[in-house]
Structure 1
Amino acid sequence: MDIKLKVKELIAEGYVEGELQVDPLWYIIWEPEEIEQFNSEYQFSKYAPEFIGFGESGSNELLAVNDKGEVFTIPAIGMESQYAEKIASSIDELKQYMEKTI
């Protein structure tokens, strides 16, 4: 899955920041050109290598996908794969829980 393309689609559809109907209850989607930088800064490759981050909750949780395209939250502090919690089977399913930015 091309996460940058999926993120571009989310942003184009108005999903930038807003409420979620599932935990963590708020989302902020990163700009596509920020994905690599933020993944490097959060050290996904070291602490949760099977995930790619694409957003955050505005507090201590990050939004990430695995190689199957499933969506998870994972803690930014104390990041480990074992603490990832699945919140949607796909980004398309996640959109059903997202409020669009006005």
Structure 2
Amino acid sequence: MNEHIKELLNDFSFGESASKNVLSDLSALKLPEDYLSIFAELNGGEGFVGAEYLILWKAEELAVFNKEYEVEMYAPGIFLFGSNGGGEGFGFDTRSKPFKVVQIPFIGMDLQYASPVADSFTHLLERMKESDGSLL
């Protein structure tokens, strides 16, 4: 994880780093490198980034939570990685190259409600740090 991301996440509480097996499985998902890089040092966590609250799911929870939320059925092409703790998830729009970050409600999940909020994971953290409480 680079220093810039560490600085943006300085008010976070994190778990231990992800296991090598889980990291290997994550690499196969072809997710953005800036996002994947965090798992070498931490594994999920939550806290404030500026005025915004962010919950990052643990590596081993990613596939499970995406399945349980039935993301592929309701919002195909979105891969959720966390939430704002208030009923909306954050995910990568895998239909775009590079993947943009979207915010989408858990209840009433549908692609039409997936709002682009950042051009990358790092950009999401930067926007959160500068936010006045709303990314939309």
Do both proteins adopt the same fold according to a TM-score greater than 0.5, normalized to the shorter chain?
Answer: yes
Cα separation, 1, equivalents of 2:59 and 2:43: 14
| CA shift in 2, pair 1:65/1:39, >3 Å | same
Structure 1 residue runs of 5 or longer lacking an equivalent are none
**Which SS does the other structure have where 1:34 is aligned?**
helix
1:18 is aligned to 2:72:
no
Aligned positions of 1:90-101 closer than 5 A: 90-98=120-128
Moved more, 11-20 or 58-67: 11-20
Aligned counterparts of 1:13 and 1:95: Cα–Cα separation in 2: 16
Q: Give the alignment partner of residue 46 of structure 1, picking from 56, 60, 73.
A: 73
1:97–1:5 Cα change, 3 Å? closer
Deviations 1:29-82 (A, max 9, x none): 000110000000000010001100000111210011012321111000000000
Aligned length: 97
**Matched-pair identity in %:** 32
1:84 to 89, 96, 114: 114
In proportion to residue count, which structure has more helix?
A: 2
Highest RCO, 1 vs 2 (Cα 8 Å, sep ≥ 6):
1
Identify which range, 36-45 or 87-96, moves more after superposition: 87-96
1:76 and 1:44 map into 2 onto residues whose CA distance is 9
Normalising to structure 2: TM-score of the pair?
Answer: 0.60
TM-score (norm 1): 0.78
Unaligned 5+ residue runs, structure 2? 1-29, 130-136
Q: Give the Cα–Cα distance (whole angstroms) in 2 for the partners of residues 94 and 50 of structure 1.
A: 19
